[in-house]
A and B are shown apart, each in its own frame.
Chain A
Amino acid sequence: MIRDITIGQYYPAKSVLHRLDPRVKLVSTLLYLISLFLFKSIPGYIMATLFLFGVIRVSKVPFKHIVKGLRAVVMLLMITVIFNLFLTRDGAVLFHKWIFTITEGGLRTAVYMTIRLIYLIIGSSLMTFTTTPNELTDGIEKLLYPLNKLHVPVHEVAMMMSIALRFIPILLEETDKIMKAQIARGADLESGNMIQRAKSMIPILVPLFVSAFRRANDLAMAMEARCYRGGEGRTKMNPLHYKTRDRIAYIVVIVYVIGVFFVGRYVPLGIWIF
């Protein structure tokens, strides 16, 4: 039941994207997210769409799987649409009834913001689909390493992140198990009003917290037993090195960002649909 949450979960496949250096993927994702806000015209959207679909093709993650992940953020998208649609007052009025007014500008912003948000979510989930949590934190640690000089505890932060990420599936599984155990004892998790439903979560949350603490304790013990004492002097089993494909990937992304910037700004097709 709870396994259906696919947003941000690693999807094992054999693709170039999976093999890329995590730093490339982190930086590229960041650049892609920024690029989504660099253009304001149809050609820009077309380019961003083509690029995104190209990357999805290369990633070998099934399109269906990616869309499934979007279901978790439908609420957020709805709120964005509603707010932009009704609260933006710009241009000709298209619809007016009681307190609801839709303007041309509002409709435009709503549509484009939704597209941007969806692309943003797909773009970043593509990174997590193709990068294991361990690779990801490895990449972050290496990228942020210069901050060490400013006394930022980069290694510790990265370690905390990787532990947190590692615990997500464990705790999901644990929740699933506890839910089943309580349902087997006749717990009713679905019916009743808000308060009753909140109350019915107690038999799940209490054991879940207890088990989270137990696991944290076990992990701390296991780390100490293996002489973990922070990042100082710690070496990597698989140190990150840029390879040719990583350099090519950087070039592709940078070309795309520059392209989208100029296309979005200077291609004369700068007309809006509406």
Chain B
Amino acid sequence: MSIRLENLNYVYSPGTAYEKHALKDVSLTIPHGEFVGIIGHTGSGKSTLIQHLNGLIRATSGQIYYNEENIYQDGYNMKELRSQVGLVFQYPEHQLFEIDVMTDVCFGPKNQGLTLDECRERALEALRLVGLKEKYYKASPFELSGGQKRRAAIAGVLAMRPRVLVLDEPTAGLDPKGRDDILEQIAYLHRQTDMTVILVSHSMEDIARYADRIIVMNHGEVMYNDEPKKVFAHFRELEEVGLAAPQVTYIMHDLKERGLAVDTGVTTVEEAADEIMAAMR
């Protein structure tokens, strides 16, 4: 159970004035059950990359293997792939359209050909997983608040019971509380199920907290692909491409420079606090 990309290239509008080489020779392996963070500034190709994972965009060249099966081979079941690899777009609430939340969440399972009862069962499960209160199930999706809409939309993808969940900036446009709630919920999902989670973001803090591995994209290329602390060790290079390591990385490096024996590899505020406490004793 894994996703493997081999020398993936993608060119937008080839042969016109708008031509853009969005992905350059991307090779990656994402094993099953991992929590992967993809980071990069605007236009680095991260959104383009994830749309390849469920076959929405066809690569100009290169191959993608899902469970060691080439998704570009003739007769490959794309519909099945799309229910295995659930993709939550940026601002997913913009895709809500049904008369009530419940029916909207049922849209995915219904397309999978499930019976009405199965759809409802899955929708209920998904709505519970995203933590949306029961009183909203029968409300129009357009009456909900921004954060609730987003939960409903994420539930719409979860209801298909994907094996891989890809989220494109799920916290964009939310307030700090809404952002933490959604991220916690995603981390909870990852712990509860054995789903692979691929989280696209441009906030290092968010990614550092949850991801097992970070993929840094720059100008359509994979710049780093490593565990968080090893990626953050390159914080100077990250700055050069318009990104930054989490603030704790800077603090720890500063402390170490000033003679405090701390581990600069910590990635979250809590770990940093423990580390400093230990060093002070």
Contacts of B13 in A (CB 8 A): 3
Contact A207 B111 (CB under 8 A): no
Contact with B along A54-69 (1 / 0, CB 8 A): 0000000010110000
| Partner among B16, B89, B160 whose Cβ is within 8 Å of the Cβ of A181 | B89
Contacts of B191 in A (CB 8 A): none
Q: How far is the CA of A206 from the CA of B141 in the complex (A)?
A: 12
Within 8 A of A (CB), among B1-25: 13, 15-17
Contacts of B108 in A (CB 8 A): 185-186
Minimum CB–CB distance for A169 against chain B, Å: 11
Q: Taking each of A65, A181, A183, which has the highest tally of chain B beta carbons within 10 Å of its own beta carbon?
A: A181
Minimum CB–CB distance for A117 against chain B, Å: 25
| Contact of A207 with B97 at beta-carbon distance under 8 Å, contacts A65-B16, A184-B86, A185-B107 already known | yes
Contact with A along B77-95 (1 / 0, CB 8 A): 0010011001101001011
Minimum CB–CB distance for B64 against chain A, Å: 15
Give the interface size class of chain B. 20 to 34
Contacts of B83 in A (CB 8 A): 186
Not counting A13-B17, A185-B111, a sample of 15 additional A-B residue pairs whose C-beta atoms are within 8 angstroms of each other reads A183-B56, A184-B82, A185-B82, A185-B95, A185-B156, A185-B157, A186-B107, A186-B108, A186-B111, A186-B112, A187-B107, A188-B79, A206-B97, A207-B94, A210-B97
Contact B157 A178 (CB under 8 A): no
Please give me the residue from chain A that is nearest to B12 by CB atom. A3
Contacts of A11 in B (CB 8 A): 16-17
Minimum CB–CB distance for B184 against chain A, Å: 24
Q: How many cross-chain pairs have Cβ atoms below 8 Å apart between A and B?
A: 65
Contacts of B107 in A (CB 8 A): 182, 185-187, 203
Contact B56 A182 (CB under 8 A): no
Contact sample, A vs B, 25 pairs, CB 8 Å cutoff? A11-B17, A12-B17, A174-B94, A178-B94, A180-B51, A180-B89, A181-B89, A181-B94, A181-B95, A182-B95, A184-B54, A184-B86, A185-B107, A185-B108, A185-B111, A185-B156, A186-B82, A187-B111, A188-B111, A202-B97, A207-B94, A207-B95, A210-B94, A210-B97, A210-B142
Which B positions have Cβ atoms within 8 angstroms of A? 13, 15-17, 51, 54, 56, 79, 82-83, 86-87, 89, 92, 94-97, 107-108, 111-112, 142, 156-157, 160
Please give me the residue from chain A that is nearest to B93 by CB atom. A207
Contact B157 A203 (CB under 8 A): no
Minimum CB–CB distance for B71 against chain A, Å: 14
The answer to whether the Cβ of A211 comes within 8 Å of any Cβ in the partner chain is yes
Main secondary structure of the interface of A (DSSP, over half): helix
Q: How far is the CA of A178 from the CA of B90 in the complex (A)?
A: 11
Contacts of B82 in A (CB 8 A): 183-186
The answer to whether the Cβ of A199 comes within 8 Å of any Cβ in the partner chain is no
Q: Taking each of A178, A180, A188, A211, which has the highest tally of chain B beta carbons within 10 Å of its own beta carbon?
A: A180
Contact B17 A184 (CB under 8 A): no
* Total count of chain A residues near the partner, CB < 8 A: 25
Contacts of B142 in A (CB 8 A): 210
The answer to whether the Cβ of A247 comes within 8 Å of any Cβ in the partner chain is no
Contacts of A65 in B (CB 8 A): 16
| Contact of A185 with B160 at beta-carbon distance under 8 Å, contacts A3-B13, A11-B17, A12-B17 already known | yes
Contacts of B87 in A (CB 8 A): 181, 184
| Contact of A184 with B97 at beta-carbon distance under 8 Å, contacts A11-B17, A13-B17, A177-B89 already known | no
Top 3 closest pairs, chain A to chain B, by CB = A186-B111, A206-B97, A181-B95
Please give me the residue from chain B that is nearest to A60 by CB atom. B17
Minimum CB–CB distance for A71 against chain B, Å: 15
Q: How far is the CA of A13 from the CA of B96 in the complex (A)?
A: 39
Contact B97 A181 (CB under 8 A): no
Please give me the residue from chain A that is nearest to B13 by CB atom. A3
Q: How far is the CA of A65 from the CA of B112 in the complex (A)?
A: 39
Contact with B along A195-226 (1 / 0, CB 8 A): 00000001100110011000000000000000
Contact A211 B97 (CB under 8 A): no
Contacts of A187 in B (CB 8 A): 107, 111
| Partner among A64, A186, A207 whose Cβ is within 8 Å of the Cβ of B79 | A186
Contacts of A181 in B (CB 8 A): 87, 89, 92, 94-95
Contact A203 B56 (CB under 8 A): no
| Partner among B17, B56, B96 whose Cβ is within 8 Å of the Cβ of A207 | B96
| Contact of A186 with B97 at beta-carbon distance under 8 Å, contacts A3-B13, A65-B16 already known | no
